[in-house]
Amino acid sequence: MIRKQKPVPPRIAKHLRRLLDQHGWTQEQLTDAAGVSQPTISAMLGGTDPKLSTAERIADAFGVKIDDLLGR
């Protein structure tokens, strides 16, 4: 019998909000610093997982490792 895995709750939104607060940045400031669109940031804050390249750009903008953004 194969068990279905439970979906993993989105954690990126929580860590993204924490990083925004720590840096005192608005979403607009992050979009400028990371070179990503406002809808992308909004989607991430809503629980959507980003592409790896997007996550890397955001982590770089904050000056953190991607694991910090992903909550590892």
Question: 59: domain CATH number?
Answer: 1.10.260.40
pLDDT in tens, 5-33: 544 446 789 999 999 999 999 999 999 99
Asked if the structure places residue 2 within a domain, the reply is no
Full domain range(s) for residue 37: 12-70
Model pLDDT, residue 12: 86
Asked if the structure places residue 32 within a domain, the reply is yes
Give 17-54 as a DSSP string: HHHHHHHT--HHHHHHHHT--HHHHHHHHTTPPPPHHH
Asked if the structure places residue 56 within a domain, the reply is yes
Asked if the structure places residue 49 within a domain, the reply is yes
Report the number of distinct structural domains present in the chain: 1
Asked if the structure places residue 5 within a domain, the reply is no
Model pTM?
Answer: 0.81
